[in-house]
A = this chain, B = another copy of it.
Amino acid sequence: MPSYTAPVNDIQFVLHTLLKASQQDIPGYEELEADITAAVLEEAGKIASNVIAPLNEVGDKEGCVLENGVVRTPTGFKAAFEQMKEGGWTALDCDPDYGGQGMPILLGTAVGELFSAANQAFTMYQGLTHGAYSAIHAHGTDAQKAKWLPKMVSCEWTGTMNLTEPHCGTDLGLMRTKAVPQENGSYKVTGQKIFISAGDHDMSANVIHLVLARIPGGPEGIKGVSLFIVPKYLVDEDGNVGAANGVSVGKLEEKMGIHGNSTCVMNFDEAEGYLLGTEHKGMRAMFTMMNEARLGVAMQGMAQAEAAYQNAVIYAKDRLQGRAVTGAQNPDGPADPLIVHPDIRRNLLDQKSFIEGARAFMLWGANMLDRSHRSGDAAAEGLISLLTPVLKGFLTDKGLEMTIQAQQVYGGHGYIEEWGMSQFVRDARITQIYEGANGVQALDLVGRKLAADGGKHVMAFFDLVKNFIKENEADEALKKDFLDPLKQASKDLQASAMFFMQNGMKNPNAALSGSYDFMHLFGHACLGLMWAQMAKAASEALASGTGDASFYETKLATGRYYMARQLPATSMHLARIQSGADPVMTLPAEAF
Protein backbone atom coordinates (compact mmCIF):
# COMPACT_ATOMS: atom_id res chain seq x y z
CA MET A 1 0.00 0.00 0.00
CA PRO A 2 1.36 3.46 -0.85
CA SER A 3 2.47 5.75 1.94
CA TYR A 4 2.25 9.51 2.24
CA THR A 5 4.38 12.06 4.09
CA ALA A 6 3.44 15.72 4.18
CA PRO A 7 6.07 17.81 2.33
CA VAL A 8 6.18 20.35 5.14
CA ASN A 9 9.67 21.66 4.36
CA ASP A 10 8.81 22.41 0.78
CA ILE A 11 5.56 24.15 1.67
CA GLN A 12 7.37 26.16 4.36
CA PHE A 13 9.94 27.19 1.74
CA VAL A 14 7.20 28.54 -0.52
CA LEU A 15 5.30 30.27 2.28
CA HIS A 16 8.28 31.92 3.91
CA THR A 17 11.43 31.89 1.78
CA LEU A 18 9.60 32.59 -1.47
CA LEU A 19 6.40 34.42 -0.55
CA LYS A 20 7.57 35.85 2.80
CA ALA A 21 3.96 35.53 3.85
CA SER A 22 4.08 37.08 7.31
CA GLN A 23 5.75 40.19 5.90
CA GLN A 24 3.04 40.76 3.32
CA ASP A 25 0.71 43.64 3.99
CA ILE A 26 -2.51 41.64 3.99
CA PRO A 27 -4.84 41.55 7.01
CA GLY A 28 -4.45 38.21 8.76
CA TYR A 29 -1.07 37.45 7.25
CA GLU A 30 0.65 38.69 10.36
CA GLU A 31 -0.42 35.39 11.90
CA LEU A 32 1.41 33.37 9.28
CA GLU A 33 4.71 33.21 11.14
CA ALA A 34 6.91 30.30 10.16
CA ASP A 35 6.60 28.49 13.46
CA ILE A 36 2.82 28.77 13.41
CA THR A 37 2.39 27.46 9.87
CA ALA A 38 4.92 24.71 10.60
CA ALA A 39 2.92 23.59 13.61
CA VAL A 40 -0.33 23.62 11.62
CA LEU A 41 1.23 21.72 8.71
CA GLU A 42 2.85 19.16 11.00
CA GLU A 43 -0.43 18.51 12.76
CA ALA A 44 -2.39 18.27 9.50
CA GLY A 45 0.35 16.08 8.08
CA LYS A 46 -0.07 13.59 10.92
CA ILE A 47 -3.78 13.24 10.24
CA ALA A 48 -3.14 13.03 6.52
CA SER A 49 -0.53 10.28 6.90
CA ASN A 50 -2.01 8.30 9.75
CA VAL A 51 -5.75 8.69 9.44
CA ILE A 52 -6.73 9.68 5.92
CA ALA A 53 -4.10 8.07 3.68
CA PRO A 54 -4.69 4.55 5.01
CA LEU A 55 -8.34 4.89 3.92
CA ASN A 56 -7.42 5.72 0.33
CA GLU A 57 -7.18 2.14 -0.85
CA VAL A 58 -10.18 1.11 1.26
CA GLY A 59 -12.25 3.78 -0.43
CA ASP A 60 -11.11 2.68 -3.86
CA LYS A 61 -11.87 -0.99 -3.25
CA GLU A 62 -15.14 -0.71 -1.36
CA GLY A 63 -16.53 2.35 -3.02
CA CYS A 64 -19.81 3.83 -1.87
CA VAL A 65 -22.95 1.73 -1.74
CA LEU A 66 -26.54 2.84 -2.27
CA GLU A 67 -28.89 0.90 -0.02
CA ASN A 68 -32.55 1.74 0.47
CA GLY A 69 -31.97 5.17 -0.95
CA VAL A 70 -29.11 6.00 1.41
CA VAL A 71 -25.42 6.09 0.53
CA ARG A 72 -23.00 4.24 2.77
CA THR A 73 -19.39 5.44 2.67
CA PRO A 74 -16.44 3.03 2.85
CA THR A 75 -15.27 1.53 6.12
CA GLY A 76 -13.50 4.04 8.31
CA PHE A 77 -14.59 7.18 6.46
CA LYS A 78 -17.11 8.24 9.09
CA ALA A 79 -14.69 7.95 12.01
CA ALA A 80 -12.01 9.82 10.09
CA PHE A 81 -14.49 12.55 9.18
CA GLU A 82 -15.32 12.94 12.86
CA GLN A 83 -11.61 13.44 13.57
CA MET A 84 -11.44 16.11 10.88
CA LYS A 85 -14.38 17.93 12.44
CA GLU A 86 -13.09 17.61 15.97
CA GLY A 87 -9.68 18.91 14.98
CA GLY A 88 -11.33 21.97 13.44
CA TRP A 89 -9.78 21.17 10.06
CA THR A 90 -13.02 21.86 8.22
CA ALA A 91 -13.13 25.40 9.59
CA LEU A 92 -9.58 26.56 9.01
CA ASP A 93 -10.16 29.38 6.53
CA CYS A 94 -13.84 30.02 7.33
CA ASP A 95 -15.34 33.19 8.76
CA PRO A 96 -15.00 33.41 12.57
CA ASP A 97 -18.51 34.89 12.68
CA TYR A 98 -19.77 31.42 11.83
CA GLY A 99 -17.34 29.33 13.81
CA GLY A 100 -14.38 29.42 11.43
CA GLN A 101 -10.79 30.09 12.37
CA GLY A 102 -10.39 32.94 9.94
CA MET A 103 -7.07 31.84 8.48
CA PRO A 104 -6.09 33.05 5.00
CA ILE A 105 -6.83 30.97 1.90
CA LEU A 106 -3.06 30.64 1.56
CA LEU A 107 -2.86 28.46 4.64
CA GLY A 108 -6.12 26.70 3.81
CA THR A 109 -4.70 25.73 0.43
CA ALA A 110 -1.39 24.59 1.90
CA VAL A 111 -3.21 22.34 4.34
CA GLY A 112 -5.73 21.26 1.71
CA GLU A 113 -2.91 19.83 -0.39
CA LEU A 114 -2.02 17.41 2.40
CA PHE A 115 -5.54 16.07 2.80
CA SER A 116 -6.12 15.84 -0.95
CA ALA A 117 -2.83 14.03 -1.53
CA ALA A 118 -3.64 11.57 1.23
CA ASN A 119 -7.14 10.78 -0.02
CA GLN A 120 -8.83 12.82 -2.72
CA ALA A 121 -12.19 11.03 -2.60
CA PHE A 122 -12.47 11.49 1.16
CA THR A 123 -11.36 15.11 1.17
CA MET A 124 -13.93 16.02 -1.46
CA TYR A 125 -16.77 15.72 1.09
CA GLN A 126 -15.27 18.65 2.92
CA GLY A 127 -14.19 20.39 -0.28
CA LEU A 128 -17.69 20.50 -1.69
CA THR A 129 -19.01 21.73 1.63
CA HIS A 130 -16.49 24.54 1.56
CA GLY A 131 -17.63 25.52 -1.93
CA ALA A 132 -21.27 25.65 -0.85
CA TYR A 133 -20.22 27.55 2.29
CA SER A 134 -18.46 30.15 0.13
CA ALA A 135 -21.50 30.64 -2.09
CA ILE A 136 -23.85 31.12 0.84
CA HIS A 137 -21.31 33.32 2.58
CA ALA A 138 -21.01 35.55 -0.50
CA HIS A 139 -24.65 35.69 -1.55
CA GLY A 140 -26.82 34.70 1.39
CA THR A 141 -28.92 37.02 3.52
CA ASP A 142 -27.86 37.42 7.13
CA ALA A 143 -30.66 35.08 8.13
CA GLN A 144 -29.54 32.46 5.62
CA LYS A 145 -25.95 32.73 6.75
CA ALA A 146 -26.94 32.39 10.39
CA LYS A 147 -29.11 29.40 9.61
CA TRP A 148 -26.84 27.39 7.33
CA LEU A 149 -23.23 28.38 7.79
CA PRO A 150 -22.27 27.40 11.35
CA LYS A 151 -23.11 23.75 10.80
CA MET A 152 -21.44 23.74 7.38
CA VAL A 153 -18.29 25.27 8.82
CA SER A 154 -18.14 22.43 11.33
CA CYS A 155 -19.23 19.91 8.66
CA GLU A 156 -22.03 18.76 10.90
CA TRP A 157 -23.89 19.38 7.67
CA THR A 158 -22.11 18.98 4.34
CA GLY A 159 -22.79 20.72 1.03
CA THR A 160 -22.95 20.02 -2.69
CA MET A 161 -23.08 21.84 -6.02
CA ASN A 162 -25.87 20.83 -8.43
CA LEU A 163 -25.21 22.17 -11.92
CA THR A 164 -25.06 19.40 -14.53
CA GLU A 165 -28.10 17.73 -16.05
CA PRO A 166 -28.09 14.68 -18.33
CA HIS A 167 -28.25 16.76 -21.49
CA CYS A 168 -26.14 19.72 -20.39
CA GLY A 169 -22.81 20.12 -18.71
CA THR A 170 -20.79 23.00 -20.10
CA ASP A 171 -23.82 24.58 -21.75
CA LEU A 172 -25.94 25.29 -18.68
CA GLY A 173 -28.28 27.48 -20.68
CA LEU A 174 -30.04 24.27 -21.72
CA MET A 175 -30.98 23.56 -18.12
CA ARG A 176 -34.49 22.23 -17.38
CA THR A 177 -34.72 21.94 -13.60
CA LYS A 178 -37.36 24.39 -12.45
CA ALA A 179 -38.13 26.25 -9.27
CA VAL A 180 -41.72 27.39 -8.75
CA PRO A 181 -42.28 30.27 -6.27
CA GLN A 182 -44.52 29.52 -3.30
CA GLU A 183 -46.59 31.89 -1.29
CA ASN A 184 -44.30 31.68 1.72
CA GLY A 185 -41.34 32.91 -0.31
CA SER A 186 -39.80 29.48 -0.80
CA TYR A 187 -39.68 27.54 -4.08
CA LYS A 188 -40.59 24.04 -5.17
CA VAL A 189 -37.61 22.62 -7.04
CA THR A 190 -38.12 19.81 -9.54
CA GLY A 191 -35.64 18.18 -11.87
CA GLN A 192 -32.72 15.83 -12.21
CA LYS A 193 -29.06 16.66 -11.63
CA ILE A 194 -26.14 14.35 -12.39
CA PHE A 195 -22.50 13.97 -11.33
CA ILE A 196 -23.25 15.36 -7.88
CA SER A 197 -20.12 14.70 -5.85
CA ALA A 198 -20.83 13.93 -2.19
CA GLY A 199 -24.50 14.03 -3.17
CA ASP A 200 -25.48 11.80 -0.29
CA HIS A 201 -23.65 9.88 2.43
CA ASP A 202 -23.76 8.78 6.05
CA MET A 203 -21.23 11.16 7.59
CA SER A 204 -23.41 14.21 8.32
CA ALA A 205 -26.79 14.99 9.74
CA ASN A 206 -27.90 16.93 6.69
CA VAL A 207 -26.79 17.65 3.14
CA ILE A 208 -27.23 21.19 1.91
CA HIS A 209 -27.60 21.17 -1.87
CA LEU A 210 -26.99 24.29 -3.90
CA VAL A 211 -29.10 23.83 -7.01
CA LEU A 212 -29.23 25.80 -10.24
CA ALA A 213 -32.77 25.95 -11.62
CA ARG A 214 -35.11 28.08 -13.70
CA ILE A 215 -37.93 30.12 -12.31
CA PRO A 216 -40.79 29.76 -14.84
CA GLY A 217 -41.35 32.92 -16.85
CA GLY A 218 -37.75 34.05 -16.55
CA PRO A 219 -35.39 34.76 -19.45
CA GLU A 220 -34.37 31.86 -21.68
CA GLY A 221 -30.93 30.36 -21.65
CA ILE A 222 -28.22 31.03 -19.13
CA LYS A 223 -29.73 34.38 -18.12
CA GLY A 224 -32.75 32.70 -16.59
CA VAL A 225 -30.94 30.49 -14.13
CA SER A 226 -31.18 31.02 -10.37
CA LEU A 227 -29.42 29.41 -7.43
CA PHE A 228 -31.25 27.70 -4.56
CA ILE A 229 -30.47 26.22 -1.19
CA VAL A 230 -32.21 22.83 -1.06
CA PRO A 231 -31.54 20.81 2.10
CA LYS A 232 -31.91 17.03 2.24
CA TYR A 233 -33.86 17.50 5.50
CA LEU A 234 -35.85 20.60 6.27
CA VAL A 235 -34.51 22.69 9.12
CA ASP A 236 -36.76 24.52 11.58
CA GLU A 237 -36.22 27.98 12.98
CA ASP A 238 -34.21 26.67 15.89
CA GLY A 239 -31.87 24.91 13.52
CA ASN A 240 -33.21 21.45 14.20
CA VAL A 241 -33.22 18.92 11.39
CA GLY A 242 -36.76 17.82 10.63
CA ALA A 243 -38.75 16.16 7.87
CA ALA A 244 -37.22 14.78 4.71
CA ASN A 245 -37.35 17.16 1.74
CA GLY A 246 -38.25 16.01 -1.78
CA VAL A 247 -34.65 15.06 -2.50
CA SER A 248 -33.55 11.54 -3.40
CA VAL A 249 -30.60 9.68 -4.87
CA GLY A 250 -31.53 8.25 -8.26
CA LYS A 251 -28.33 6.33 -8.80
CA LEU A 252 -24.74 6.04 -7.69
CA GLU A 253 -22.32 6.23 -10.63
CA GLU A 254 -19.57 3.69 -11.23
CA LYS A 255 -16.53 5.70 -12.09
CA MET A 256 -12.96 5.28 -13.21
CA GLY A 257 -11.73 6.54 -9.86
CA ILE A 258 -12.56 8.52 -6.69
CA HIS A 259 -14.67 5.52 -5.70
CA GLY A 260 -14.75 6.67 -2.11
CA ASN A 261 -16.74 9.72 -3.07
CA SER A 262 -20.44 9.30 -3.78
CA THR A 263 -21.18 10.64 -7.25
CA CYS A 264 -24.96 10.79 -7.34
CA VAL A 265 -27.81 11.31 -9.70
CA MET A 266 -30.00 13.60 -7.58
CA ASN A 267 -33.71 13.79 -8.10
CA PHE A 268 -35.59 16.84 -6.86
CA ASP A 269 -39.31 16.35 -6.65
CA GLU A 270 -41.01 19.53 -5.51
CA ALA A 271 -38.27 19.90 -2.99
CA GLU A 272 -38.44 22.99 -0.82
CA GLY A 273 -35.73 25.45 -1.79
CA TYR A 274 -34.68 28.97 -0.89
CA LEU A 275 -33.40 31.49 -3.38
CA LEU A 276 -29.73 32.34 -2.85
CA GLY A 277 -28.88 35.80 -4.14
CA THR A 278 -30.90 37.39 -6.90
CA GLU A 279 -33.45 35.82 -9.24
CA HIS A 280 -31.94 34.83 -12.61
CA LYS A 281 -28.45 35.72 -11.41
CA GLY A 282 -27.53 32.18 -10.42
CA MET A 283 -24.60 31.93 -12.77
CA ARG A 284 -23.07 35.12 -11.42
CA ALA A 285 -23.34 33.71 -7.93
CA MET A 286 -21.57 30.57 -9.09
CA PHE A 287 -18.85 32.55 -10.83
CA THR A 288 -17.83 34.47 -7.76
CA MET A 289 -16.59 31.32 -6.12
CA MET A 290 -15.26 29.71 -9.27
CA ASN A 291 -11.70 31.01 -8.95
CA GLU A 292 -11.45 29.43 -5.53
CA ALA A 293 -13.06 26.16 -6.61
CA ARG A 294 -10.82 25.87 -9.66
CA LEU A 295 -7.74 26.59 -7.60
CA GLY A 296 -8.92 23.73 -5.40
CA VAL A 297 -9.04 21.36 -8.36
CA ALA A 298 -5.63 22.52 -9.57
CA MET A 299 -4.43 21.63 -6.09
CA GLN A 300 -5.93 18.16 -6.38
CA GLY A 301 -4.06 17.56 -9.62
CA MET A 302 -0.70 18.50 -8.16
CA ALA A 303 -1.49 16.73 -4.89
CA GLN A 304 -2.09 13.39 -6.63
CA ALA A 305 1.18 13.90 -8.50
CA GLU A 306 2.97 14.52 -5.18
CA ALA A 307 1.54 11.39 -3.57
CA ALA A 308 2.39 9.26 -6.61
CA TYR A 309 5.88 10.76 -6.82
CA GLN A 310 6.68 9.94 -3.20
CA ASN A 311 5.92 6.30 -3.84
CA ALA A 312 7.79 6.22 -7.14
CA VAL A 313 10.88 7.50 -5.33
CA ILE A 314 10.58 4.84 -2.63
CA TYR A 315 10.32 2.13 -5.29
CA ALA A 316 13.16 3.55 -7.39
CA LYS A 317 15.49 3.49 -4.39
CA ASP A 318 14.36 0.07 -3.25
CA ARG A 319 13.98 -2.00 -6.39
CA LEU A 320 17.24 -3.55 -7.61
CA GLN A 321 17.36 -3.95 -11.34
CA GLY A 322 20.29 -3.66 -13.75
CA ARG A 323 23.56 -1.84 -13.29
CA ALA A 324 24.48 1.82 -13.72
CA VAL A 325 26.01 2.28 -17.17
CA THR A 326 29.03 3.97 -15.60
CA GLY A 327 29.74 1.08 -13.21
CA ALA A 328 28.00 -0.72 -10.36
CA GLN A 329 26.85 1.54 -7.55
CA ASN A 330 25.67 -1.26 -5.29
CA PRO A 331 28.46 -3.75 -6.00
CA ASP A 332 27.66 -5.97 -3.05
CA GLY A 333 24.05 -6.37 -4.09
CA PRO A 334 22.66 -8.41 -6.97
CA ALA A 335 21.89 -5.22 -8.91
CA ASP A 336 21.74 -1.44 -8.52
CA PRO A 337 18.62 0.42 -7.45
CA LEU A 338 16.48 1.78 -10.28
CA ILE A 339 17.37 5.34 -9.36
CA VAL A 340 20.89 5.00 -10.83
CA HIS A 341 19.43 4.80 -14.36
CA PRO A 342 19.30 8.10 -16.25
CA ASP A 343 15.86 7.48 -17.70
CA ILE A 344 14.39 6.70 -14.27
CA ARG A 345 15.92 9.94 -12.98
CA ARG A 346 14.53 11.80 -16.00
CA ASN A 347 11.13 10.41 -15.15
CA LEU A 348 11.39 11.32 -11.45
CA LEU A 349 12.78 14.79 -12.15
CA ASP A 350 9.93 15.53 -14.54
CA GLN A 351 7.67 14.85 -11.59
CA LYS A 352 9.69 16.62 -8.90
CA SER A 353 10.32 19.76 -10.95
CA PHE A 354 6.68 19.97 -11.96
CA ILE A 355 5.31 19.37 -8.48
CA GLU A 356 7.48 21.95 -6.72
CA GLY A 357 6.86 24.54 -9.43
CA ALA A 358 3.15 23.80 -9.34
CA ARG A 359 3.02 24.10 -5.57
CA ALA A 360 4.60 27.55 -5.74
CA PHE A 361 2.20 28.58 -8.51
CA MET A 362 -0.80 27.31 -6.57
CA LEU A 363 0.21 29.03 -3.33
CA TRP A 364 0.97 32.24 -5.19
CA GLY A 365 -2.55 31.93 -6.62
CA ALA A 366 -4.00 31.52 -3.11
CA ASN A 367 -1.96 34.51 -2.05
CA MET A 368 -3.55 36.60 -4.82
CA LEU A 369 -7.02 35.45 -3.77
CA ASP A 370 -6.29 36.63 -0.23
CA ARG A 371 -4.93 39.91 -1.52
CA SER A 372 -8.07 40.36 -3.55
CA HIS A 373 -10.50 39.33 -0.78
CA ARG A 374 -8.75 40.80 2.24
CA SER A 375 -7.11 43.88 0.77
CA GLY A 376 -9.55 44.60 -2.05
CA ASP A 377 -6.65 44.63 -4.48
CA ALA A 378 -8.17 44.84 -7.97
CA ALA A 379 -4.88 44.09 -9.70
CA ALA A 380 -4.50 40.87 -7.74
CA GLU A 381 -8.10 39.97 -8.51
CA GLY A 382 -7.55 40.61 -12.20
CA LEU A 383 -4.36 38.58 -12.34
CA ILE A 384 -5.70 35.56 -10.46
CA SER A 385 -8.82 35.68 -12.60
CA LEU A 386 -6.58 35.46 -15.69
CA LEU A 387 -4.42 32.72 -14.20
CA THR A 388 -7.21 30.58 -12.77
CA PRO A 389 -7.86 28.63 -16.01
CA VAL A 390 -4.09 28.19 -16.39
CA LEU A 391 -3.84 26.81 -12.88
CA LYS A 392 -6.79 24.50 -13.34
CA GLY A 393 -5.97 23.25 -16.85
CA PHE A 394 -2.20 23.03 -16.70
CA LEU A 395 -1.82 21.63 -13.19
CA THR A 396 -4.42 18.93 -13.73
CA ASP A 397 -3.17 17.91 -17.20
CA LYS A 398 0.40 17.71 -15.96
CA GLY A 399 -0.81 16.20 -12.70
CA LEU A 400 -2.29 13.25 -14.55
CA GLU A 401 0.78 12.94 -16.75
CA MET A 402 2.99 12.78 -13.68
CA THR A 403 0.88 10.12 -11.95
CA ILE A 404 1.27 8.06 -15.12
CA GLN A 405 5.03 8.56 -15.04
CA ALA A 406 5.12 7.57 -11.37
CA GLN A 407 3.15 4.43 -12.17
CA GLN A 408 5.61 3.66 -14.98
CA VAL A 409 8.52 3.52 -12.51
CA TYR A 410 6.89 0.40 -11.04
CA GLY A 411 6.94 -1.47 -14.35
CA GLY A 412 4.40 -4.31 -14.36
CA HIS A 413 3.70 -3.83 -10.66
CA GLY A 414 2.36 -0.38 -11.45
CA TYR A 415 -0.48 -1.96 -13.40
CA ILE A 416 -1.52 -4.23 -10.51
CA GLU A 417 -4.12 -2.58 -8.32
CA GLU A 418 -2.67 -3.81 -5.04
CA TRP A 419 0.38 -1.56 -5.45
CA GLY A 420 -1.85 1.50 -5.47
CA MET A 421 -0.21 3.38 -8.33
CA SER A 422 -3.17 2.83 -10.63
CA GLN A 423 -5.45 4.59 -8.17
CA PHE A 424 -3.42 7.79 -8.31
CA VAL A 425 -3.88 7.82 -12.08
CA ARG A 426 -7.57 6.98 -11.95
CA ASP A 427 -8.29 9.52 -9.23
CA ALA A 428 -6.24 12.29 -10.83
CA ARG A 429 -8.07 11.81 -14.14
CA ILE A 430 -11.25 13.47 -12.85
CA THR A 431 -9.46 16.73 -12.14
CA GLN A 432 -9.13 17.38 -15.87
CA ILE A 433 -12.86 16.99 -16.28
CA TYR A 434 -14.82 18.43 -13.40
CA GLU A 435 -15.18 22.08 -12.39
CA GLY A 436 -15.07 22.91 -16.13
CA ALA A 437 -13.34 20.48 -18.48
CA ASN A 438 -9.87 21.66 -19.45
CA GLY A 439 -10.90 22.54 -22.99
CA VAL A 440 -13.41 24.92 -21.42
CA GLN A 441 -10.65 26.38 -19.24
CA ALA A 442 -8.66 27.09 -22.40
CA LEU A 443 -11.73 28.71 -23.98
CA ASP A 444 -12.27 30.82 -20.87
CA LEU A 445 -8.61 31.88 -20.95
CA VAL A 446 -8.42 32.86 -24.61
CA GLY A 447 -12.03 33.79 -25.27
CA ARG A 448 -12.67 35.79 -22.14
CA LYS A 449 -9.82 36.40 -19.72
CA LEU A 450 -7.02 37.34 -22.07
CA ALA A 451 -8.70 40.44 -23.44
CA ALA A 452 -10.57 41.33 -20.24
CA ASP A 453 -10.13 44.96 -19.12
CA GLY A 454 -8.28 45.76 -22.32
CA GLY A 455 -5.76 43.00 -21.76
CA LYS A 456 -4.26 44.74 -18.78
CA HIS A 457 -3.93 41.59 -16.65
CA VAL A 458 -1.83 39.74 -19.17
CA MET A 459 0.26 42.90 -19.56
CA ALA A 460 0.70 42.88 -15.79
CA PHE A 461 2.00 39.33 -16.03
CA PHE A 462 4.48 40.28 -18.73
CA ASP A 463 5.62 43.24 -16.64
CA LEU A 464 6.10 41.00 -13.64
CA VAL A 465 8.35 38.73 -15.67
CA LYS A 466 10.19 41.61 -17.33
CA ASN A 467 10.83 43.41 -14.07
CA PHE A 468 11.98 40.28 -12.31
CA ILE A 469 14.45 39.61 -15.09
CA LYS A 470 15.63 43.20 -15.13
CA GLU A 471 16.13 43.36 -11.38
CA ASN A 472 18.15 40.19 -11.26
CA GLU A 473 20.11 39.88 -14.46
CA ALA A 474 23.32 41.03 -12.82
CA ASP A 475 23.43 37.61 -11.17
CA GLU A 476 25.13 35.66 -13.94
CA ALA A 477 24.32 32.18 -12.72
CA LEU A 478 20.68 33.10 -12.26
CA LYS A 479 20.65 34.78 -15.66
CA LYS A 480 22.07 31.84 -17.56
CA ASP A 481 20.13 29.03 -15.91
CA PHE A 482 16.88 30.77 -15.12
CA LEU A 483 16.34 34.26 -16.52
CA ASP A 484 17.34 33.55 -20.10
CA PRO A 485 15.02 30.53 -20.45
CA LEU A 486 12.26 32.51 -18.71
CA LYS A 487 12.77 35.37 -21.13
CA GLN A 488 12.39 32.98 -24.05
CA ALA A 489 9.23 31.43 -22.60
CA SER A 490 7.76 34.86 -22.01
CA LYS A 491 8.66 35.87 -25.56
CA ASP A 492 6.84 32.80 -26.89
CA LEU A 493 3.85 33.67 -24.75
CA GLN A 494 3.82 37.24 -26.02
CA ALA A 495 4.14 36.08 -29.61
CA SER A 496 1.12 33.82 -29.07
CA ALA A 497 -0.95 36.61 -27.58
CA MET A 498 0.10 38.81 -30.48
CA PHE A 499 -0.95 36.13 -32.96
CA PHE A 500 -4.38 35.96 -31.33
CA MET A 501 -4.75 39.75 -31.43
CA GLN A 502 -3.78 39.98 -35.07
CA ASN A 503 -5.85 37.05 -36.28
CA GLY A 504 -8.57 36.47 -33.73
CA MET A 505 -10.55 39.58 -34.59
CA LYS A 506 -10.93 38.58 -38.21
CA ASN A 507 -11.44 34.92 -37.38
CA PRO A 508 -12.16 33.84 -33.82
CA ASN A 509 -11.33 30.28 -34.81
CA ALA A 510 -7.71 31.34 -35.33
CA ALA A 511 -7.51 32.10 -31.63
CA LEU A 512 -9.65 29.24 -30.38
CA SER A 513 -7.74 26.66 -32.41
CA GLY A 514 -4.71 27.56 -30.35
CA SER A 515 -6.44 27.97 -27.00
CA TYR A 516 -5.34 24.65 -25.52
CA ASP A 517 -1.72 25.18 -26.52
CA PHE A 518 -1.86 28.69 -25.14
CA MET A 519 -3.05 27.38 -21.78
CA HIS A 520 -0.07 25.03 -21.65
CA LEU A 521 2.36 27.63 -22.91
CA PHE A 522 1.12 29.98 -20.21
CA GLY A 523 1.44 27.23 -17.62
CA HIS A 524 5.06 26.65 -18.53
CA ALA A 525 5.76 30.37 -18.41
CA CYS A 526 4.22 30.56 -14.93
CA LEU A 527 6.24 27.62 -13.67
CA GLY A 528 9.30 29.18 -15.28
CA LEU A 529 8.63 32.37 -13.33
CA MET A 530 8.08 30.40 -10.13
CA TRP A 531 11.34 28.53 -10.62
CA ALA A 532 13.27 31.70 -11.34
CA GLN A 533 11.86 33.28 -8.20
CA MET A 534 12.53 30.17 -6.15
CA ALA A 535 16.08 29.99 -7.49
CA LYS A 536 16.67 33.54 -6.38
CA ALA A 537 15.18 32.84 -2.95
CA ALA A 538 17.21 29.64 -2.59
CA SER A 539 20.42 31.37 -3.67
CA GLU A 540 19.91 34.14 -1.14
CA ALA A 541 19.18 31.65 1.59
CA LEU A 542 22.30 29.71 0.67
CA ALA A 543 24.37 32.88 0.70
CA SER A 544 23.01 33.83 4.10
CA GLY A 545 24.38 30.58 5.48
CA THR A 546 21.24 29.86 7.48
CA GLY A 547 18.94 26.91 7.04
CA ASP A 548 19.51 23.62 5.32
CA ALA A 549 22.06 24.15 2.54
CA SER A 550 21.38 20.80 0.88
CA PHE A 551 17.69 21.68 0.65
CA TYR A 552 18.51 24.90 -1.22
CA GLU A 553 21.04 23.18 -3.48
CA THR A 554 18.47 20.54 -4.36
CA LYS A 555 15.96 23.29 -5.04
CA LEU A 556 18.37 24.98 -7.46
CA ALA A 557 19.21 21.74 -9.27
CA THR A 558 15.54 20.84 -9.57
CA GLY A 559 14.83 24.28 -10.97
CA ARG A 560 17.64 24.00 -13.49
CA TYR A 561 16.09 20.74 -14.66
CA TYR A 562 12.73 22.41 -15.23
CA MET A 563 14.23 25.30 -17.14
CA ALA A 564 16.44 23.08 -19.30
CA ARG A 565 14.07 20.22 -19.96
CA GLN A 566 10.48 21.39 -19.54
CA LEU A 567 10.46 25.01 -20.60
CA PRO A 568 11.49 24.26 -24.22
CA ALA A 569 7.88 23.08 -24.69
CA THR A 570 6.90 26.73 -25.17
CA SER A 571 8.35 26.89 -28.69
CA MET A 572 6.34 23.84 -29.71
CA HIS A 573 3.14 25.35 -28.38
CA LEU A 574 3.90 28.61 -30.17
CA ALA A 575 4.43 26.81 -33.48
CA ARG A 576 1.12 25.02 -33.09
CA ILE A 577 -0.68 28.23 -32.24
CA GLN A 578 0.84 30.06 -35.20
CA SER A 579 -0.40 27.37 -37.58
CA GLY A 580 -3.77 29.05 -37.05
CA ALA A 581 -7.28 27.92 -37.83
CA ASP A 582 -6.84 26.17 -41.17
CA PRO A 583 -5.41 22.84 -40.02
CA VAL A 584 -8.14 22.60 -37.38
CA MET A 585 -11.17 23.92 -39.24
CA THR A 586 -10.69 22.63 -42.80
CA LEU A 587 -12.27 19.21 -42.55
CA PRO A 588 -16.07 18.99 -42.74
CA ALA A 589 -17.64 17.14 -39.81
CA GLU A 590 -18.46 14.11 -41.94
CA ALA A 591 -14.76 13.64 -42.78
CA PHE A 592 -13.93 12.72 -39.18
Contact = CB atoms under 8 A, between A and B. Distances in A.
Interface of A: 164, 167-171, 174, 194-195, 253-257, 313, 316-317, 320-322, 325-326, 334-335, 337, 339-349, 352, 400, 404, 407-408, 411-412, 414-418, 422, 425-426, 429-430, 432-434, 437-439, 442-443, 447, 507-509, 512-513, 515-516, 550, 553-554, 557-558, 560-561, 564-565, 568-569, 571-572, 575-576, 579, 581-587, 589, 591-592
Nearest to A555: B591
A29 to B, nearest CB: 31
Contacts of A346: 513, 516, 584
Find the residue from A337, A425, A576 having the highest chain B CB count within 10 A: A576
Given A554-B591, A561-B584, A571-B568, A404 B400 contact: yes
A170 B414 CA distance: 14
A529 B586 CA distance: 22
A321 B168 contact: yes
Given A171-B322, A255-B415, A568-B571, A408 B508 contact: no
A343 B443 contact: yes
Contacts of A169: 321, 411-412
Contact of A408 (B316, B437, B554): B437
Contact of A255 (B195, B417, B507): B417
A352 to B, nearest CB: 7
Contacts of A416: 253-256
A63 B195 CA distance: 26
A74 to B, nearest CB: 17
Nearest to A61: B254
Contacts of A341: 439, 443, 512
Copies in the complex: 2
A320 B348 CA distance: 41
A574 to B, nearest CB: 8
Contacts of A411: 169-170, 433, 437
Contacts of A254: 416-418
B583 A516 contact: no
A382 to B, nearest CB: 24
A487 to B, nearest CB: 15
A342 B581 contact: yes
A583 B565 contact: yes
Contacts of A589: 317, 337, 339-340
Given A342-B584, A345-B584, 10 more contacts: A170-B322, A171-B322, A254-B416, A255-B422, A256-B415, A317-B589, A554-B591, A557-B583, A568-B571, A571-B575
Contacts of A316: 592
A540 to B, nearest CB: 20
B579 A565 contact: yes
Nearest to A346: B584
A66 to B, nearest CB: 15
Contacts of A417: 254-256
A587 B551 CA distance: 11
Given A325-B512, A417-B256, A512-B342, A348 B171 contact: no
